[in-house]
Structure 1
Amino acid sequence: MTHDARSALLSAALQAAACGWHVHPLRPGGKGSALHGERACPRTGVCADGHVKWEQRATTDPGRIRAAWSAGAFNVGIATGPSHLVVVDLDIPKPQEGKGSSDAPCGAASFAALCERAGHPWPATHTVRTPSGGTHLYFTAPLGVRLPCTARTVAANVDTRAWGGNIVAAGSTTPHGTYDTVDDTPAVPLPGWLLHHLHTPPKPAVTAPAPLIVPGGTTRRAAVALERETADVSRTGEGGRNSRLLAGARSLGRFVAWGEIPRHMVEQAFQAAGEASGLPPAECRTTIRSALDWSIRTARPRDAA
C-alpha cells in the first residue's frame, strides 16, 4: 500500500483512540489481528513474562499507535471489552448455497423489529457502515457489567461484540470496500431493554423423544444447543479457539443429520462466533465444514442416541 494509505489508517487509529477506544493493528486489507499469536510469541518485550493476547495489547497510547502503524498499512481493530463498548453488528445475510438469496431477514430488519417490540425508536448513536452493507452500532457498556459477545442469539443476523470481541474500525479497507462512519454521534449508553436481551439466559434443552418444533423448523433443543455452543466459541481465547470451534460444530452435526436444524443456520452461527473469537473467516469456514461433514456422516440414529 502507499504511504498515503498508511497515513490514513494511522489517522483512523489515532481518532479511535481519542474516543477512548483501545486499538490494535489488523492485517492489511483484512480483519484478523496482525499481532503475533501464542505459538509465534517471542516471549520478549510485553510478553517477557508470558504471551499477552491482542485484547490486552490493544492501546489508546498515541506513541505506541504511531510505532505500530509505522511498520505498515494495517487496518484498525477495536478491542470492545477494554474500550467499554458494546457494538451491535447488523449483518446482511449471505446467499444460501444453490440459491440467489437468503430467506433470513437482514440484521437491520431484525433489530428494527426488536426496537418496535420494546416500544423504543431506533437509537441514535455512533454508526459505521461495513463494506458488505451491514451496520455497526456503538454503545457504551454499563458500569460494573462484563458482557460476553453473542452470535445471532439476540435476533437473526444480529451479533454483539463486548469482552473478548473485536470490531473493525472506520477507515479500514478490505477488498470489498471501506468501513465508513455514517453517524459520528458519540456512542450512547446501551439501552436497558437491549441489556435485558443480552442478560436473558437460554431456555433449558428439551430431551423428549419427540422434540418440540420452534418457528423456522428447528427443534427447541437444537436451538438451545446452538446458542450454548456458539456462545462458548465466541468467549474462547487465543490458543484454543479452533479446537473449540471444531468441537462445537461437531456437537451440532447430529441435529443437522436428524433434521432438527438447517445446516446453513448452524454454519452461519458458528461462522459469526468463530470470527468473534478472532479466527480468520476462511479458517472458520474450513473448520465448520469439516466438523459438520464428519458429524453428519458418523451420527447415530436419533432413537439410538
Structure 2
Amino acid sequence: MSAPLTMDLPQVPLLAAALAAADRGWHVHPLRPGAKTPALHGEERCPRTGECAGGHRKWEQRATTDPTRIERCWTHAPYNVGIATGPAGLLVVDLDMPKDKDEKGAPDGANCFLALCERAGQPWPTTYTVRSARGGQHLYFAAPDGVRLHNTAGKLGALIDTRAWGGYVVAAGSTTATGDYHVVADAPVADLPAWLLAALTPPPRARGPVTLPSPGRAGAYAQAALRNETDSVRHAPEGTRNRTLVRAARALGRLVASGDLPHAVVEEALNGAGEAAGLTERECRPAVTSALNWSISHNGGTAA
C-alpha cells in the first residue's frame, strides 16, 4: 500500500491550487514541473488508449474540474497548474513585461493597457488578477455567452495578448525558475467589458454565398468536387481540421490549374468552410493560399 501524502511533498500545494481553480469551475490540466508547457502527451506520441481510445485528445479536451481525476494526477508529481481558458469560460488578458532585448524604457503591457482604458474612457477594470513569474499580470474576465473568442497576440496592443479558446494560462500557485504565480487582486471575476469585446470582435467581413461557375466553364465534375471538398472541411472533427483544409486545397488546386474552377471562387469557398469548422481567419487564409499555390504549380498552372 502506498504511503499517504504528507505536507512535506512538493505536489501538495500544487494539488491545492489545482483543486481551488477547479472549485471555481475552471478546467485544469497539468503542466511540466517547474515549467509552463503541458505535461500531457502530444498527438505524435498518442497511445490511442484510455481517454484517447477514440482518437487523440489534446490538453484542452482533457482539462477537467473533476476532483478525483485532479487528485490522481497531482499526487503523481509536482505539476504546475494550467487553466484551459476556453472550457473555463474565461478570457484572460495577459499583460507582459518587455524582454531583455527590447528597448530600455519601453512601456510594459500594463502601461499599454492603461492607455487603452483611457482611450475608451473607462477605468482600469476590477477583476481577479494574477501576477506572473516575470512580473506581468493576468486579468481574468468571464467570456460572454454566444461568442467564441480565441487567442490573440498583440491585437489589442504591444505586450498585450489574450487567452480564450485554444489557450491556457498558468494558475496562481505555480512556480517556475523565473518566479511564482500569485494572486494580487482576489476580486470576483468581472464580465468582459463591452469595449474590450468590441476590440476583440471587429465587424465580420461580408461573405455572400459562393457562386459556382456555370456548367459551361467548369462542368458537373468540378462543381461536385468543390461542394464535396468544402463539405469535408466544414464537417472535419477537431484535430483534423487543418489537415483536411490543406488536403482539400491541394485537391481543388488541380482543377484551378486545369481552368475548370476559378482561383478566387475556390479560395473563398475553402476559407469560408474552414471558418465554419471553427478555424480562425488567420489559420485558414495562409494554409489555403499555400496549399492552392503548391497544387497549381505542381499541376502545370501559374500560382497566384
TM-score for the superposition, normalised by structure 2? 0.64
Given that 1:38 and 1:239 are in contact with CA atoms closer than 8 Å, whether structure 2 keeps it comes out as no
- Partners of 1:108 and 1:129 lie apart in 2 by 11
- How much does 1:239 deviate? 11
More displaced stretch, 116-125 vs 101-110: 101-110
Q: Given the superposition, is the C-alpha separation of residues 238 and 12 from structure 1 closer, same or farther in structure 2, using an over 3 Å criterion?
A: farther
- Partners of 2:57 and 2:151 lie apart in 1 by 20
* Equivalent in the alignment of 1:282: none
1:121 pairs with 2:123? yes
* Equivalent in the alignment of 2:10: 5
- How much does 1:126 deviate? 0.2
1:171 pairs with 2:173? yes
- How much does 1:5 deviate? 1.9
- How much does 1:200 deviate? 2.0
- 1:220-270 per-residue CA deviation (whole Å, 9 max, x = no partner) reads xxxxxxxxxxxxxxxx979989xx9xxxxxxxxxxxxxxxxxxxxxxxxxx
- Partners of 2:28 and 2:104 lie apart in 1 by 34
- How much does 1:67 deviate? 0.5
* Equivalent in the alignment of 1:142: 144
| Alignment-mate amino acid for residue 112 of structure 1 | L
* Equivalent in the alignment of 2:86: 81
1:108 pairs with 2:110? yes
Within-5 A mapping of 1:265-304: none
| Alignment-mate amino acid for residue 154 of structure 2 | R
Aligned partner (choices 48, 71, 87) of residue 43 of structure 1 = 48
- 1:6-58 per-residue CA deviation (whole Å, 9 max, x = no partner) reads 00000000000001000000000000000111111111111011101100000
* Equivalent in the alignment of 1:71: 76
- Partners of 2:91 and 2:239 lie apart in 1 by 18
* Equivalent in the alignment of 2:230: none
Q: Which runs of 5+ in 2 are unaligned?
A: 1-6, 206-237, 247-304
Count of matched residue positions in the alignment of Structure 1 and Structure 2: 207
TM-score for the superposition, normalised by structure 1? 0.64
- Partners of 1:186 and 1:64 lie apart in 2 by 26
Q: Which runs of 5+ in 1 are unaligned?
A: 204-235, 245-305
**Greater RCO (CA < 8 Å, at least 6 residues apart):** 1
Given that 1:164 and 1:237 are in contact with CA atoms closer than 8 Å, whether structure 2 keeps it comes out as no
- 1:76-133 per-residue CA deviation (whole Å, 9 max, x = no partner) reads 000000000000000001122xx7x446421000100011011110000000001111
* Equivalent in the alignment of 2:35: 30
Given that 1:53 and 1:238 are in contact with CA atoms closer than 8 Å, whether structure 2 keeps it comes out as no
Q: Given the superposition, is the C-alpha separation of residues 55 and 122 from structure 1 closer, same or farther in structure 2, using an over 3 Å criterion?
A: same
* Equivalent in the alignment of 1:161: 163
Given that 1:38 and 1:238 are in contact with CA atoms closer than 8 Å, whether structure 2 keeps it comes out as no
- How much does 1:3 deviate? 4.4
* Equivalent in the alignment of 2:194: 192
Q: Percent identity?
A: 60
| Alignment-mate amino acid for residue 180 of structure 1 | H
- 1:61-88 per-residue CA deviation (whole Å, 9 max, x = no partner) reads 0000000111100000000000000000
* Equivalent in the alignment of 1:130: 132
- How much does 1:157 deviate? 0.5
